[in-house]
Amino acid sequence: MRVVALSLVTALIAAASPAAEAPAPATTPIQPFKIQVVDDQTARGVPLVELKTTNQDRWYTDSAGYVAFNEPGLMNRKVFFTVTSHGYQFPKDGFGMAGRALDVKPGGAAVLRIKRLNVAERLYRVTGQGIYRDSVLLGLPAPIRQPTLNAEVTGQDSVMTAIYRDKLYWFWGDTNRVRYPLGHFQMSGATSLLPGKGGLPPSQGVNLDYFVDAEGFSRKMAPMTRPGQAVLVWLDGFVVVPDAAGQQRMAAHYAQLKGLGHVLEHGLMLYNDRKEIFEKVLELPQAEKWRHPQGRPVRWTDGGKDYYVFPAPYPVVRAPATLDALKDMSAYEAFTCLKPGSRFDKSDPPLHRDQAGKLVWAWKANTDPITQEQEADLIKARKIKPDEARFQLRDIEGGKTIKLQGGTFHPNACRKKWIMVGLQVWGSSMLGEVWFAQADSPAGPWTTARKIVTHDKYSFYHPCHHPYFDEEGGRIIYFDGTYTATFSGNEHPTPRYDYNQIMYRLDLADPRLRMD
């Protein structure tokens, strides 16, 4: 009887086992539900908007503002989406929930309007994978040639640009790839055609033609080696200048580093048109901190002479716009209030005053520049008066001091001023707040600024205004920056967007940009 009972139990268990069930029939692919988030001021799709369901799953709009939603188990039912985005605000319901319940059906569609708090308008992502991912999944057109992946690039840091031989050259620092967590760290590059000369209008996007290696990955543009060491190479201060023979050459300052903080050497590189790489032409003394190209230079004619001005972070260093001058440290000048030929001494600063006691700010050779921190210390020590300062930016609304980390400075025909798009250090996020300011000359005085972009615990560093994209006589300007969780304390990097460049548009006629 025991054997019979065991056999019966075994048979019953086998009959009840899932393994005994017929396999589930194959399912057909789910047609996505199309969601677009649009700017309530312009009706344009907004990139980088997070849609979160009640089970904490998240989707992010692509560069056209679309999400292709096709989550099994959540189709053919009402689904609530919380809607959030840096510098934007979605209306809250009676319970304080910033979102909306949508009737999610295969092939259906919904449009959500979001309020822009930023003065600047977010347009699209320039680099990385899946720029128009959801548009492609929905079968919609994309404005750029390679909307999902270009040159195997998944992330790029800190753009620098130069117009050279009728093309726009783009350069980035560290570059991430698809096939391995480590990419390369010796600058990457691409070219694009300028608007009106075959390039896309800047409101639509940028078609990047990358310099690639044999595997199709973005290659090193400044290859350097050092025996027994792996080194990083960063370039900045890109300029196009005539050489001794009158030929136009593209040059840049290089820094060879071990890790993020230790500079092994620095100097000047020239672009080799045949090899399509940068090569070292001059190594500078390690102690030389300012007499070299740096930042994002701008061409400037002063007193009938052609210069490049180098922001560091304010444009207080310049040199004549020739290759020979860039190689000659004695040709560099600083805009400074120190006595000609002197060095800064915090305990006893050699200030330059005229016979009436007026502080003399001027371009001076072989004289240290004054940084914004040094100037602030001089004011605090009552060595100079606040109204003698040149680089003490303050929030035009609240009067709070804005410490500038860096940015770009250009003359603007619309404002008939020099304008700045700059990054604040330690704003509401460490490196995520972008400001606009204007002055009569590159050397200021820079006094008041207005915030144009904000981020919630996220970085958006090294913003770069692209003046060759300006429209309507400089009334519309474009700038991009590196969107990254690095240095932000955010432990949840945004998929696809993180460590990539995002383009913004700013209308200088916006009444919020009044600076008086």
Query: What are the two backbone dihedrals, phi and then psi, of residue 139, each rounded to the nearest 5 degrees?
Result: 75, 25
Full-model pTM: 0.93
Cα separations (Å) of 427 from 85, 434, 488? 18, 9, 11
| Domain range 33-137, CATH architecture | Sandwich (2.60)
d(CA 239, CA 270): 10
Q: What is the pLDDT of residue 212?
A: 98
Taking alpha carbons only, the member of 197, 206, 153 closest to residue 179 is: 153
Burial level of 475, CB count in 10 A (0-12/13-18/19+)? middle
Q: What is the pLDDT of residue 452?
A: 98
Q: Is the Cβ–Cβ distance between 83 and 60 less than 8 Å?
A: no
d(CA 276, CA 285): 27
* DSSP 8-state code for residue 349: -
Q: Is the Cβ–Cβ distance between 256 and 294 less than 8 Å?
A: no
Residue for token digits 């400044």? 222
d(CA 450, CA 399): 10
Q: What is the pLDDT of residue 398?
A: 87
3-state helix, strand, coil in the chain (%, to 5): 10, 40, 50
d(CA 263, CA 266): 7
516 residues of the chain, pLDDT tens digit each: 444 444 444 444 444 445 545 565 556 677 999 999 999 999 999 999 999 999 999 999 999 999 999 999 999 999 999 999 999 999 999 999 999 999 999 999 999 999 999 999 999 999 999 999 999 999 999 999 999 999 999 999 999 999 999 999 999 999 999 999 999 999 999 999 999 999 999 999 999 999 999 999 999 999 999 988 889 999 999 999 999 999 999 999 999 999 777 899 999 999 999 999 999 999 999 999 999 999 999 999 999 999 999 998 999 999 999 999 999 999 999 999 999 999 999 889 999 999 999 999 999 999 999 999 999 999 999 999 999 999 999 999 989 999 999 999 999 999 999 999 999 998 878 899 999 999 999 999 999 999 999 999 999 999 999 999 999 999 999 999 999 999 898 889 999 999 999 999 999 999 999 998
CATH 2.60.40.1120 segments of the chain: 33-137
